[in-house]
Amino acid sequence: MVKAHKRKNSGSMRRASRVYLSSANVGKVAQLRFFLLLYVNVVNYFIERFWTMKDFTSALADKVITGRAVNRFKITARLAQCAAKQAKEIVRSQKKRKVKTMPLLRRKVATLDNRFVKIEEFKGAAFDLALSFASGMPKITIPINQTAHMNRFWGHGWQVGSTIRLGMNKRGVWIELIFEKKRPELRTEGKVIGIDRGFRKAFVTSDGQEVGAELRDQIRRKAKRSKTSYYHIRTELFRCLKRLKLEGVKRKRESA
């Protein structure tokens, strides 16, 4: 039987909270850096394989293919299957494009489930949590402290998911915890309002609400065609949306 990659808890909301390992043991961080460099190479190896085979399916990678990666990179079969899964998702992102070009994993990021990392309460007063790695990863434990951003989710109906992201950039090595929460039921009673998006005012509703007028100057100051600018503005737009008063509203009808 061929199993497809399916996202668990598809009826839930997900939020990521990142913490940099700036206070972790230098030797342990160095091991994670080495692992990430190796992992990116493995993922790109699988990307090239799937691309050459024109395999845009979501089916699990064949054991023959993952076995070659095990022998070539000296990794565990479990880690090879994890890297192959991530490679499949990247390759499938090109499926609907008119002009398809072979992608590459340029960001040094690994998506790891609970087979590779275990999250526990830290036994001591110095830190809050301990992340223990295994199954083909460096067998080390990294202690971390909860951040203010994490505390927005912890104890507010959110649960730590079974997946984390491990990555590194110019600032250093980081870990992202993924929090999950069941989506609220859609309202069946109430009114319907219309929302219009604009430049002078980000959102104007049919019941007279106006939010986001302050974003106009921020957008003008941002560099055009910059990914950083795009994500910053998108985040601010979502913050504006949260300021809308939606008591008694069952549905929003949006127009550009």
Per-residue pLDDT of 66-91, as tens digits, reads: 999 999 999 999 999 999 999 999 99
Helices (H), the chain: 26-52, 63-73, 77-92, 148-151, 215-221, 227-242
26 pLDDT tier (thresholds 50, 70, 90): very high
Taking 90 as the threshold, does the pLDDT of residue 222 lie above it?
no
Give the largest Cα separation in the chain, rounded.
64
Stronger pLDDT, 49 or 203, i.e. the higher one: 49
Quick one: pLDDT at residue 102?
A: 92
pLDDT in tens, 128-175: 999 999 989 999 999 999 999 998 888 788 888 888 999 999 999 999
DSSP strands (E only) in 97-226: 108-113, 117-121, 129-133, 141-144, 159-169, 172-182, 191-197, 203-205, 210-211
Q: What's residue 2's pLDDT?
A: 38
How many CA atoms are closer than 13 Å to the CA of 67, on its beta-carbon side? 3
Packed helices 26-52 and 63-73: angle between N→C axes, nearest 10 degrees? 140
- CA 21 to mean position of chain CA atoms: 18
- Break the chain into its structural domains and give their ranges: 12-35+111-182, 36-102, 191-255
Q: Tell me, what's the pLDDT at 1?
A: 32
Which H or E element spans position 19? strand 12-20
50: helix, strand or coil: helix
Rg (CA), the chain: 22
CA–CA distance, 136 with 116 (Å, rounded to integer): 8
CATH architecture of structural domain 12-35+111-182? Beta Barrel (2.40)
Confidence of residue 56 (pLDDT cuts 50, 70, 90): confident
